[in-house]
Structure 1
């Protein structure tokens, strides 16, 4: 009964978000609370929500201060040379821009942190896409694909959870997957090139009056440099550019090297950005107010996600869903568990958060597979092909998803509809590569 309520809850939430019948915060808070009441856990809802909020609080703080920091740096003009430099390097060819977005995301995600990847990659690229009138869903998609494949790295959360859950060495899980990751990244870059060419054709079909510079072969005079409004010029601080660069580099290094938590890094960075660029207290209030709306909107969504996860975990619905999913495997499919799990791993990210899956579902699946002579390490490798790897950037159960859509300005439902087919295809390709390369049998 509890598992059924859990599956229905997730399904209702996904339908409501995809159809835009409710805002994300209404769905994330209201739906699980109603489910908890129906399942007889209404009296403990407050405790569940509080637990979820405590887990999400660091991400909320990171996002709020990241919005303020990058907003202040944009006001001061830090990104102007970056945008112009990127445009000069990759031109106005959408194919090169999209492919470059995927390469940048893959490189940055070497640290294994999705939030850091999105915070470092997205802000410099969004102005490029906006200026060229490119579809920002493409940006969100290719960054998600590249980060998803790279999230299999041995210091990433999914692989560490899998190793701990199955009690196997990290290297035993990762080494066979290294060539599989190479296949996955090759598919990601090929897809980015295809999406870029599609953008080129779309922009070429647009009327020339919309933006001549967006179409290859047309005049580039409007793209060479940023064209700033008078209000933007008032806020620019060109004399402090290198100080702003130093602050930004120090912040990113401290965050990537894990010297301090991301929330602390952005808090300190925001304080330094305000003191350096806008020392007047009245101006500081104005600049914070200017970026407060977008920060508050996404903070409420992230807290809503925390409430959702807290209720689903605390009520036991996630655990019950895990057991039910394992029992649904047909008896004749036992020998094919790695392939089946690999194919289902990405969609399972929409149903299970990483802790619930790797510590709740995975051990049960591994135990069932052992009865058919399937090593547990193969079950873990199959799960890593999509569960919170390619699946994490679209899952409503991970705060990073909301960070990605918030930074790109893409609606969550639009992002999911556009990106899920490509992310699922990436998992399918890697599953096929596992079979071909002998990582696990068909």
Structure 2
């Protein structure tokens, strides 16, 4: 396929590139082969060849090709409570709402219905790659994997490990550390089998829910499994004042230090939230090449602070964007980009110098930052990268300024799923506007 039209793509933390007319050429493996500008000598001949082969895809005037978004933090079983009980304290929200809902996913029919809705909603919002927390149920997590594969979404999925009886309810926890580790390994093996069988982009992830939910034996075993299978790791780290204090009281260590003690901070780790991380924690993250999933909407409700994105970036810690469904109510990365900018202004107004970030900075997090965190060559429109795209319409193009920076910011602040016309993952069309089901 060859796309012809305008593109926006992040070049760096501080710069988004705009090209008004290019050919973006996709090879049969779903990779970007070339991006040809209109002034290159073979532009016309490549376009003509694409027309002759009926593989030219003109992008309409007023629409733009953008990279697909990467969501680094989604609690898949929480989708059905998105927006509910967000006025409650974190502990109450977990115990009275979240854990009872997640326990229902032992019913695989229930899981299939919920996960089908979630995956399609994320794709429709331009999210092509997701790092998912599943539930404690191995079979339900495999249902999620199969739905992602059928819909065409690239998915990193973890079976949640949680076995500490002091912090988890008896109706929703692994019965022992032995069961937790055995089921985690079983899930890893079965997901590898599924991936080979259907050649989908699926990756198992080691997933301790967070330090309070796990016994020492489970934390240690999960670190060993991550090393054994060379897998990504995801958890929460310094999400709130309560979580931070819990780690200190139980281990006499910072939350990050506890995770590191059990070999859970690696160059394949993504830790969510981090609103309470200290400079020494950030130095440890930098040393381990561990990334942060910034969840700005959720942090407003449960984070007790604002993640200092610019400071964290200057400490050379990679950051991506996460919705944190359902601590975050919206499945839209656009909505979280907006909140990231707003929250940074609040941080600056509270006295932190030079804390404000721009739409360009947040766009980097949603694309390049997330791709680097997951070690996937995507998030940019350039040769050698996966063809993960969204085609987005500027609904005000005939009314407002069409200067590139103005268009870019307008897309960031006004795009909803109604303006996302098509979505592609590895060159395969997975969403057409007005159609709410999977791969086409």
- Superposition TM-score, scaled by structure 2 size: 0.30
Bigger Cα Rg: 1
Which structure: greater helix fraction? Answer: 1
TM-score after normalising by structure 1: 0.30
Ranked by relative contact order (alpha carbons within 8 Å, sequence separation 6 or more), the top structure is 1
Whichever structure has more strand as a proportion of its residues is 2
